[in-house]
């Protein structure tokens, strides 16, 4: 076997089985400080959190209406919460829909910085007294291991994984585990970038080069849909159009542009470590009219998120 060929990630779409070559590129998520910096800048330059909030306020209330089956207590699991801003918006919609219930909230987040920000946010909101938070500083797979080791029998009414499945090795096994925790009428919500739009095109064209860093993967909701279809799991899906100002990416040596490129490619120090061909190809794709629009002197990357809603296992 060629040692340079590695299969680290299990893809579920039929066109995705060719082996991935080992690469000298490092995954951005390896370096928590730089990941958080580039994620923060990405949030400032993109409409991502706004489009998530639109989904949360306009669609989520209907999705959450049927959960709980009349119970006075709900269990929630949030995986890859980041600093918790999106999670708390969701919690607040859940509370509005079910104002009488108390909530147990398991937060699963491996970054201590992010977990700390989330804890500070919660400490500033005494109105959250209907919720008990359990802080799990760990990855999704460590959480699964712990859960199984402790032989937990608790069921969840609402599980969500917002923009985090890029960082798990086995997408299908992770989804199946969290879906298996759902109680009657429970819901699992996943969001990722969609195969439609600029990010999908970037993943499709450069998956082999960018995916070989071993810890983060070019996955889109197409991979989720392929997996769910193969298992006969039904789901609802919502398109969430978003955009990001990537103008700075095209100024050689621009510090912010480099941070944004790291986030777009998920590669640590992409500008300094990628081959000149890969860098030129990625930049060309990013500014191609299929992926971006020009407005005045700005280059705006157009992409979609997709939210996939899965019910309890049948």
* Interface residues toward ligand SAH, by CB under 6 A: 29, 39, 79-82, 86, 108-111, 114, 139-140, 162-164, 167-168
Smaller CB separation from ligand HSM, 77 or 211: 211
Q: Is 67 helix (H, G, I), strand (E, B) or coil?
A: coil
Residue whose C-beta lies closest to ligand SAH: 82
106 in contact with ligand HSM (CB under 6 A):
no
35 in contact with ligand HSM (CB under 6 A):
no
- Helix or strand (DSSP H, E) at 238: strand 235-245
Find which of ligand HSM, ligand SAH, none residue 266 binds, CB within 5 to 8 Å per kind.
ligand HSM
166 in contact with ligand HSM (CB under 6 A):
yes
The total of other beta-carbon atoms located within 10 Å of residue 257's CB is 19
Nearest to residue 285, comparing CAs of 196, 194, 198?
A: 198
Nearest to residue 94, comparing CAs of 119, 114, 66, 121?
A: 66
Cβ 101 to ligand HSM shortest distance, Å? 30
Smaller CB separation from ligand HSM, 92 or 163: 163
DSSP 104-160: EEEEE---HHHHHHHHHHHHT-GGGTTEEEEEE-S-HHHHHHHHHHTT----EEEEE
Among 76, 86, 168, 193, binds ligand HSM (CB under 6 A): 193
Contact 261, 270 (CB under 8 A): yes
Smaller CB separation from ligand HSM, 203 or 309: 203
Long-range contacts of 174-179 (CB under 8 A, 24+ apart): 174/140, 174/141, 174/144, 175/224, 175/227, 175/228, 175/310, 176/231, 177/144, 178/77, 178/79, 178/140, 179/233, 179/310, 179/312, 179/313
266 in contact with ligand HSM (CB under 6 A):
yes
The total of other beta-carbon atoms located within 10 Å of residue 274's CB is 22
- Helix or strand (DSSP H, E) at 75: strand 73-79
286 in contact with ligand HSM (CB under 6 A):
no
CA distance 270 to 161: 26
Cβ 115 to ligand SAH shortest distance, Å? 9
Cβ 266 to ligand HSM shortest distance, Å? 5
Q: What is the number of residues in the chain? A: 314
- Which residues are paired to 107 by β-bridges? 78, 135
Q: Is 1 exposed, middle or buried (0-12, 13-18, 19+ CB in 10 A)?
A: exposed
- Which residues are paired to 159 by β-bridges? 77, 188
Cβ 247 to ligand HSM shortest distance, Å? 18
Find which of ligand SAH, ligand HSM, none residue 310 binds, CB within 5 to 8 Å per kind.
none
107 in contact with ligand HSM (CB under 6 A):
no
Find which of ligand HSM, ligand SAH, none residue 110 binds, CB within 5 to 8 Å per kind.
ligand SAH
Cβ 300 to ligand SAH shortest distance, Å? 20
48 in contact with ligand HSM (CB under 6 A):
yes
262 in contact with ligand HSM (CB under 6 A):
no
Smaller CB separation from ligand SAH, 113 or 185: 113
246 in contact with ligand HSM (CB under 6 A):
no
Smaller CB separation from ligand SAH, 55 or 227: 55
Where along the sequence are the contacts to ligand HSM (CB under 6 A)?
A: 48, 163, 166, 193, 266
């Amino acid at each position: 076997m060629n040692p340079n060929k590695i299969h680290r990630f299990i893809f579920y779409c039929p066109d995705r089985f060719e082996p991935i070559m080992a690469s000298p590129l490092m995954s951005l998520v390896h370096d928590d400080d730089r990941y958080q910096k580039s994620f923060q800048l990405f949030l400032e330059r993109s409409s991502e959190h706004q489009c998530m909030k639109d989904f949360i306020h306009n669609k989520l209330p209907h999705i959450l209406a049927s959960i709980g089956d009349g119970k006075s207590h709900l269990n929630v699991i949030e995986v890859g919460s980041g600093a918790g801003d999106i999670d708390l918006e969701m919690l607040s919609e859940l509370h509005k829909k079910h104002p009488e219930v108390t909530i147990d909230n398991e937060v699963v987040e491996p970054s201590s910085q992010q977990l700390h920000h989330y804890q500070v946010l919660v400490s500033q909101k005494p109105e959250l007294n209907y919720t008990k938070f359990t802080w799990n500083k760990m990855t999704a797979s460590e959480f699964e291991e712990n859960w199984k080791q402790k032989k937990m029998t608790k069921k969840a009414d609402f599980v969500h994984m917002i923009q985090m499945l890029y960082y798990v090795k086995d997408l299908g096994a992770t989804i199946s585990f969290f879906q298996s925790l759902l109680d009657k009428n429970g819901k699992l919500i996943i969001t990722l970038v969609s195969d439609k739009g600029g990010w999908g095109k970037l993943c499709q064209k450069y998956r082999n080069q960018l995916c070989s860093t071993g810890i983060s993967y070019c996955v889109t909701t197409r991979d989720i849909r392929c997996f769910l279809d193969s298992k006969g799991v039904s789901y609802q899906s919502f398109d969430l159009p978003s955009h990001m100002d990537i103008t700075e990416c095209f100024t050689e040596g621009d510090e912010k542009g480099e941070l944004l490129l790291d986030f777009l490619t998920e590669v640590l120090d992409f500008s300094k470590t990628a081959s000149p061909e890969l860098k030129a190809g990625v930049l060309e794709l990013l500014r191609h009219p299929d992926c971006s629009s020009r407005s005045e002197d700005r280059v705006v990357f157009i992409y979609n998120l997709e939210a996939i809603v899965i019910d309890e296992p049948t």
